[in-house]
Amino acid sequence: MEEFIGGLWHRFITRAATRSYPQAVVRLADMERTAGILFRALGGDPGLRVAPAAEVEHGARRNWLARLAHTGEKTAHAARDDETLRLPAEITLFPERSLNRDLYLWLIAQGAALDVDQALADNWIVANQTASAATLAAFPGFATRYRRLVDAVLAERPDPAKLPADEAAAERAIRQALLAPGSVGSLPAARKPPTPVALWLYPAPVSIDRRQSPANPTPAESRDGGSKTSDATERRRQAQREDMPDGKNGLILPFRAESLLSFADFVKVNRAHDEDTDDDPAKAAGEMDTISVAQDGHDTSSKVRFDLDLPSAAHDDFPLQSGILLPEWDWKKQTLKRDMCSVTVLDARDAEPGPLPSRLVRPARSLRRQLEALTPARRWIKNQPEGTELDIDACVRAFADRRTGHSVGNSGGYQSCERRERDLCCLVLADLSLSTDTWVSDDQRVIDVIRDSLWLFSEALGATGDPFGIYGFSSRRREHIRIHRIKDFDEKIDDRIRGRIGALKPGFYTRMGAAIRYATTILAKRPEALRLLMILSDGKPNDVDHYEGRYGIEDTRMSLNAARQEGVRPFCVTIDKEGQGYLPHLFGPAGYTILRNPAELPARLPRLYAQLTAG
């Protein structure tokens, strides 16, 4: 009975203290695509991605009912840094759904105009006013929405007359800045932070800089082997570095009740072990405002995984060519670094020649029939003065004209055969990173889908006669980029090529920029007019070193720009459900396609090729 009454009281007091409107909720997941398009249309950095913001304690004054119910302690601040625009995962601030949606649109516009350097310099109130004024000046259509939002926000904010003098001064300054952006130069100091301003972006949480990390990754950093799977929310957390406790006499402490919770923060827990099946570190991290990171000197890699170690020469694929140096784009310095990446071209060691798998024989036959329409056809040109055969119709007409006295001279009585060739070629570049080892169904992995796709693609293109090549790639840092030769342009489809496809296995990481540059050097030597580069991928570019996030995205973008300058037409086929956030920045609006169901890739790939080359 006591627990029942306590539950009723908790629900009642929480409902009474919560100042939100769940019935009018608008979620970022529903606005994500619109957010990206609008952000870029308003002049925002096209390389930024949109992601949910984490809830953090704001420290502002709360009313007595909120303190009693322990509600309103945290809020999700909209924020922006060099790589990400963070927006609340959902907005329930206003009773009207249209207002909540307009708040999303305004925060997107604010993020597009915000000066990040000014915001990081603790002038965030000035930076937000400048961004607001610039947005209203450049896009007057936002003025009506902004006024409605300001009126709604001011109605929800605390009354300055009921606040202490210092907090009241800060509140009046915020109200003035909202009503007339640019009129407030600084925020008056107060003992407590002001209530969060829903229309403004706050400084982004400081994240750990990986460049300050040791040169060699810890087992926890490297155990995933380039897998793109992560927390579904991908929320940014505040982070700070701490020294690792030595653990000496850790349990011999003078008993103080207030020390119990703080001591738990420094309990040494190895969460990288495969045996820890009951722990949920992602859930634990999701409930923390600040994550402390310390470098542990103990190596536990022997208990985790070995598959990221490079194989020995006796068990690795045959190196066909090594030491190929390629450049890499440093987006922070805005410079192209020469000879930064080393490429090794490999041939499969364990590839045994074999026929096409029996389960693919019927789909391959069907695709070949569909693509036979693209095969160059023979066409007879009639009524020619010269040719390989007589044009019977022309001869009969000439004879009839002469008999009737209407001869028009020798107009040609021959016909010639013309064969029109398709002046194009294609190179397929497949991502073979370790993330392709993930399962897409009960009996099929991503790498299995890629194998089936390459089998069917190669069989189907045999019906068109178009020259094509197939390569795969993975990487482990910039000095070891692996290009797997599956089929060269001058090789025919046979059991040997099918055996190479069957020998494909997951590799390491995804340094996509270097792989695209190598593929461009191959296509640049081809004589065809249309040179198509089809990229099969399952996620973002990344590697174990600094090649992740914005760095990998921008390097890949620069490699694609260089490919276009060489006359190469890139096109990406991906199964990454979050690809909408970065693929338009890389390939343009018509340069990619996202397959929601990975099992569709084998059948879709040849058809996509037919669509891209039909003209």
In degrees rounded to 5, what are phi and psi of residue 383?
55, 45
Domain annotation covers residue 410: yes
Domain that holds residue 598: 320-371+422-613
Quick one: tokens of 70? Answer: 């322990």
Average pLDDT value for residue range 523-539: 93
The pLDDT tens digits for 10-56 are: 677 777 767 788 899 999 888 877 887 888 888 888 888 888 888 88
Domain annotation covers residue 385: yes
Q: Are residues 367 and 382 both part of a single domain?
A: no
Break the chain down into helix, strand, coil percent, rounded to 5.
40, 20, 40
252 Cβ contact partners less than 8 Å away, ≥ 6 residues apart:
none
Residue with the larger pLDDT of the pair 308 and 463: 463
Sorting pLDDT into bands at 50, 70 and 90, what band is 258?
very low
C-beta atoms surrounding 279 within 10 Å:
13
Average pLDDT value for residue range 272-288: 51
- Total number of domains in the chain: 4
Domain annotation covers residue 293: yes
Q: Are residues 90 and 164 both part of a single domain?
A: yes
Q: What pLDDT, on a 0 to 100 scale, did the predictor assign at position 294?
A: 61
Q: Are 423 and 569 in contact (CB under 8 A)?
A: no
Quick one: tokens of 469? Answer: 């090549």
Domain annotation covers residue 314: no
Residue finishing a domain among 203, 235, 250: 203
348 SS3 class: coil
Q: Are residues 325 and 355 both part of a single domain?
A: yes
Q: What pLDDT, on a 0 to 100 scale, did the predictor assign at position 56?
A: 85
C-beta atoms surrounding 385 within 10 Å:
10
Domain annotation covers residue 315: no
Q: Are residues 281 and 392 both part of a single domain?
A: no
Q: Are residues 275 and 385 both part of a single domain?
A: no
Q: Are residues 31 and 108 both part of a single domain?
A: yes
Residue finishing a domain among 309, 333, 362: 309
Q: Are strands 424-431 and 468-475 parallel, antiparallel or unpaired?
A: parallel
Q: Are residues 447 and 549 both part of a single domain?
A: yes
Q: Are 363 and 456 in contact (CB under 8 A)?
A: yes
Q: What pLDDT, on a 0 to 100 scale, did the predictor assign at position 308?
A: 54
The pLDDT tens digits for 139-180 are: 998 999 999 999 999 998 989 998 999 999 999 999 999 999
Radius of gyration of the chain (CA): 32
Q: Are residues 395 and 429 both part of a single domain?
A: no
Sorting pLDDT into bands at 50, 70 and 90, what band is 377?
low
Domain annotation covers residue 544: yes
Q: Are residues 78 and 183 both part of a single domain?
A: yes
Domain annotation covers residue 574: yes
Residue finishing a domain among 203, 222, 240: 203
Residue 311, pLDDT > 90, answer: no
Q: Are residues 409 and 443 both part of a single domain?
A: no
For 204-218, 335-349, 485-499, 530-544, which range has the lowest pLDDT when averaged over its residues? 204-218
Q: Are residues 232 and 133 both part of a single domain?
A: no
Q: Are residues 509 and 575 both part of a single domain?
A: yes
Domain annotation covers residue 176: yes
